[in-house]
Structure 1
Amino acid sequence: MPRSTSREATVRPTGEGGTETQAKELCLRLLTDRARSRAELSERLAKKGYSADISERVLDRLSEVGLVNDADFAQQWVQSRHTYSGKGKRALAMELRRKGIGQEHASEALAQIDSEDERERATELVAKKLRTLSVDDRDRAVRRLVSMLARRGFSQGMAFEVVKEQLDHLGDDTDGMFDDG
């Protein structure tokens, strides 16, 4: 049995999850890293051994003061992950589900991304990838680019359209560059 440090002994008395104050402090520490959903905080409190009653009271209080808000969390998460990680709606919906966000909040957050925004982001991702990808074998390039977009949660139809469009555009840009004329 591993020995506990003196800090652990003061934070969590033997046989108990800890006090409401300690649970609140844990949540506040977690919230300083990044916004978190209520379900994420609840899960972390449970892992640390806090009772459901204490967790519920702490999370209710944090919600009352506006530090825990699943609707705001979902909006921020979708905006950030779409903009900076290049995630499509399908991938974002799965991430929100894993974070414990309800369908209503997830739908509202995902509504901020329209099909034109999603297509534009997919186009940016393909254009960036094409700078480092060899297109000697067009079929292979198409497979790799469509796979990249699929992993990021973009629909297959949109992925094929964007990839074809970008490869055609790339072909237009290189036409005549290697002519002997």
Structure 2
Amino acid sequence: MARAVVLRLLTGAPRSRAQLEQALAKRDVPEGVAARVLDRFTDVGLVDDEEYARTLVRSRHRERGLSRRALGTELRRKGIDDETAAAALEEVDGDDEVHAARELVAKKLRTTASLATDVRVRRTYAALARKGYPPGLVGGLVREALAAEGADDEGPAWSDAES
């Protein structure tokens, strides 16, 4: 039964060992049986937390634009240990993060072009904060993007959004 549960879960999407342990525990599989099954799946390469973490980091950063901080939180939530998470997060460097944030800022400002500047700034800060980007980085990128489109960077939009 435990093997079937793990195979079914892995067929849908890759999972961490911790996620599989939780699923087996929910189905009242004894810990010893779960450990043996998961050890065997690890031995044959079907359960690999390091590869899972690297794949998650690459895909979430590329597709969703998540920051290293947000990615680290997601890895911990999925049961990846700190050492494995740190190794996976090394694949996203500071330049990658700035590039992703710059693209997100441009996209958000493009989709809010018809709104008042202060509303655009607030929404952009909020969107990037949800993805784990620090306000200082976002502020610089927002100012840069608005300057490039010729918007006035003086006034209440900046003081409200950055405080």
Q: Which of 105, 110, 125 is the matching residue for 1:126?
A: 105
Q: Which residue of 2 aligns with 1:178?
A: none
Structure 1 runs, 4 residues or longer, greater than 4 Å off: none
The one-letter code matched in structure 1 to 2:2 is A
Q: Which has the higher helix share?
A: 2
The one-letter code matched in structure 2 to 1:97 is R
Give the Cα–Cα distance (whole angstroms) in 2 for the partners of residues 70 and 86 of structure 1.
Answer: 22
Give the Cα–Cα distance (whole angstroms) in 2 for the partners of residues 161 and 58 of structure 1.
Answer: 50
Q: Which of 50, 53, 60 is the matching residue for 2:32?
A: 53
Q: Is residue 38 of structure 1 aligned with residue 17 of structure 2?
A: yes
Q: Deviation per CA, 1:142-169, whole angstroms, max 9, x where unpaired? A: 1210111010111221111111111111
Q: Which residue of 2 aligns with 1:176?
A: none
Q: How does 1:145-160 map to 2 (within 5 A)?
A: 145-160=124-139
Q: TM-score when scaled to structure 2?
A: 0.88
Determine if contact 1:142/1:164 at 8 Å carries over to the other structure: no
Give the Cα–Cα distance (whole angstroms) in 2 for the partners of residues 113 and 161 of structure 1.
Answer: 20
Q: Is residue 24 of structure 1 aligned with residue 10 of structure 2?
A: no
Q: Which of 73, 97, 101 is the matching residue for 2:52?
A: 73
Give the Cα–Cα distance (whole angstroms) in 2 for the partners of residues 113 and 107 of structure 1.
Answer: 10
Q: Which moved more, 1:136-145 or 1:28-37?
A: 136-145
Determine if contact 1:23/1:55 at 8 Å carries over to the other structure: yes
Give the Cα–Cα distance (whole angstroms) in 1 for the partners of residues 59 and 89 of structure 2.
Answer: 12
Q: How does 1:125-144 map to 2 (within 5 A)?
A: 125-134=104-113, 136-144=115-123
- What secondary structure does 2:29 align onto? coil
Q: Deviation per CA, 1:97-136, whole angstroms, max 9, x where unpaired? A: 0000000010011111011111111111121222220365
Q: Which consecutive unaligned segments of at least 5 residues does structure 2 have? A: 152-163
Q: By how many angstroms is 1:170 displaced? A: 1.7
Q: Is residue 62 of structure 1 aligned with residue 41 of structure 2?
A: yes
The one-letter code matched in structure 1 to 2:17 is R
Q: Which residue of 1 aligns with 2:85?
A: 106
How many percent of aligned residue pairs carry the same amino acid?
Answer: 46
Give the Cα–Cα distance (whole angstroms) in 1 for the partners of residues 111 and 136 of structure 2.
Answer: 24
Q: Which consecutive unaligned segments of at least 5 residues does structure 1 have? A: 1-21, 173-181
Q: Which residue of 2 aligns with 1:95?
A: 74
Please report the RMSD computed on the Cα atoms of aligned residues, expressed in angstroms: 1.3
